[in-house]
Amino acid sequence: MRKFRIKEIPQFEINRIIDSSFKYFGLVCTFFGLVMLTIFIGNILLDGLGRISWAFMTNLPSRIASKAGILTAWAGTVWILVLTAIISIPLGVSAGIYLEEYGKKNRLASIIETNISNLAGVPSIIYGLLGLEIFVRLLNFGGSLLAGAFTLALLILPIIIVATREALKAVPNILREASFGLGATKWQTIRYQTLPAASGGIMTGIILALSRAVGETAPLIVVGALAYVPFVPKSPMDEFTVLPMIIFNWVSRPQQEFLINAAAGIIILLLITFLMNGVAVYLRNRWQKKINW
């Protein structure tokens, strides 16, 4: 009798089939995610676009949904954003410059670098508890804008440090060597050559970090952000509310009108976030072209 031999499939064919299968699996997952995101944003736009008006932007919070506005919320968001930037940007950029340009490459530096990278992934509620103990209780800032800004500055500080270091690493060493060859000191080289070349990457990291801070709610709830504030903050020591906080408050109410208000607030928050991310993408593209040149 004739024996039939099963033809063996070559290994490269198996690998090609696996690669092709994974490509289509990833395409299906991506398409599913985009469809769900489109449905989610579409529902928000349908519910909230009709509610957005000048009165909605300038009215104070109210127990009556039709009269409620987000004046104190977006004013508090602007205050928090500005104070957080003032606190975090100088510290984060300076730390990144020191660790990359001045710090010695030894075991201690490796431990510090690993810890900074790990801190960037710590849940935001942990920073809220830290801010509650240090800024609210120990330093006696209370539930003020300053306590919230310091807490969010701690949250985004590791992101800014990592972004600054990565941007400085991407600057070609030939630029530094040319500056040293012309007699410039290390600080002059950093100030006039390295930092301008890395500015796009640093600004991208800063904007993305601040856009994360804009949408954070958990740390601010812990440090004492209020759901109802009947006045616009006038100093860093005033009590405050922010857009995510007032959206959270409206969503938790059973009335349909407040859910519509929440959708309108989400649209405003999304516009702020998309605008900041768009600026970050623009700066990143300009920086990459400058590096390629």
pLDDT tens digits for range 246-266: 888 888 888 888 888 888 888
Q: Give the model's pLDDT for residue 8.
A: 62
Mean pLDDT of 62-85: 86
Q: Is the pLDDT score of 26 beyond 80? A: yes
Q: Is the pLDDT score of 278 beyond 70? A: yes
Q: Give the model's pLDDT for residue 106.
A: 77
Beta strand residue intervals within 63-176, DSSP E: none
Mean pLDDT of 133-145: 87
Instruction: Please name which of 89, 287, 281 lies closest in space to residue 201, comparing C-alpha atoms.
Output: 287
Q: Give the model's pLDDT for residue 3.
A: 53
Mean pLDDT of 144-165: 90
Q: Give the model's pLDDT for residue 90.
A: 93
Q: Is the pLDDT score of 288 beyond 70? A: no
Q: Is the pLDDT score of 291 beyond 60? A: no
* Lowest-confidence pick of 34-38, 42-46, 101-105, 178-182: 101-105
Distances (CA, A) of 154 to 149, 151, 280: 9, 5, 21
Distances (CA, A) of 210 to 104, 142, 214, 222: 29, 23, 6, 19
Q: Give the model's pLDDT for residue 9.
A: 63
Instruction: Please name which of 121, 270, 293, 287 lies closest in space to residue 204, comparing C-alpha atoms.
Output: 287
Would you tell me how many other CB atoms lie within 10 Å of the CB of residue 184? 16
Instruction: Please name which of 144, 121, 160 lies closest in space to residue 240, comparing C-alpha atoms.
Output: 144
Give me the half-sphere count of Cα atoms (radius 13 Å) on the Cβ side of residue 97.
17
State pTM to two decimals. 0.81
Q: Is the pLDDT score of 31 beyond 80? A: yes
Confidence tier at 292 by pLDDT (50, 70, 90): low
For residue 124, what are the contacts with CB-CB under 8 A and spacing of at least 6? Answer: 155, 216, 218, 219
Q: Is the pLDDT score of 83 beyond 70? A: yes
Confidence tier at 93 by pLDDT (50, 70, 90): very high
Mean pLDDT of 93-98: 90
| R_g of the chain, CA atoms, integer Å | 25
Would you tell me how many other CB atoms lie within 10 Å of the CB of residue 87? 18
Q: Give the model's pLDDT for residue 182.
A: 83
Q: Give the model's pLDDT for residue 108.
A: 79
If you ran DSSP here, which 8-state letter would residue 183 be given?
Answer: T
